[in-house]
Amino acid sequence: MNLPAFLKYKADPYQHLPAIVFWTMGSFNSIVWTDAIKASVLIMLGLAGIYLLRWWLNPMALGDEDAMALGIDVPRARIIYILIGTLIVAASVSSCGNIGWVGLVVPHMARLIVGSDHDVLIPFSALLGGIFMLLMDTLSRILPGGEIPVGILTALLGAPFFAYLLVKNEKKGAWQS
């Protein structure tokens, strides 16, 4: 069942439906300070958790067997990272809606700039993500034709960049089995 479509169908078309549609496109328009503070606290807690456990990520990038040989409980580490990532995503999406491609594109941009060491990559990805979203929000507000939802702009920029990464890595053979 397509739950978002069902909710749109059942929503009041004059009051709730526009809010649902704009939430699915992602926007910073209707955020108030209390929402931003609540989301920020949860996001910062999640980022702190990931940063404290960052030393697991470099060995895990080598593969499960190598990480286990170095003493990392890989299944447990994955569950912890999934739970922390879920907390961060839930906090951000609940406050500003679905802003796609940022979580895929920004870490890859950061990796191209600073490399693969997670000690540097994690804080740089967070900083670059914040800068990217500030730029997208500013751009969405100054483009002619009214304020465009941020999620539309990130998709317009993110999808081609991600396609570029796929083509680039396929040529190198990085993602071939």
Whether the CB-CB separation of 95 and 41 falls below 8 Å is answered with no
Residues whose CB falls within 8 Å of the CB of residue 142, separated by 6 or more in sequence, listed in order: none
Nearest CA-CA partner of 88 in 60, 129, 119, 124: 129
CA atoms within 13 A on the CB side of 46: 19
Whether the CB-CB separation of 42 and 88 falls below 8 Å is answered with yes
Least confidently predicted of 47-51, 129-133, 136-140, 159-163: 159-163
Q: Where are the domains of the chain?
A: 28-97, 98-177
pLDDT confidence bin for 24, thresholds 50/70/90: confident
CA 66 from chain centre, in angstroms, equals 28
Residues whose CB falls within 8 Å of the CB of residue 175, separated by 6 or more in sequence, listed in order: 166, 169
Q: How far is it, in rounded angstroms, from Cα 137 to Cα 115?
A: 27
- The 10s digit of each residue's pLDDT in 27-75 is 888 888 999 999 999 999 999 999 999 999 999 999 999 999 999 999 9
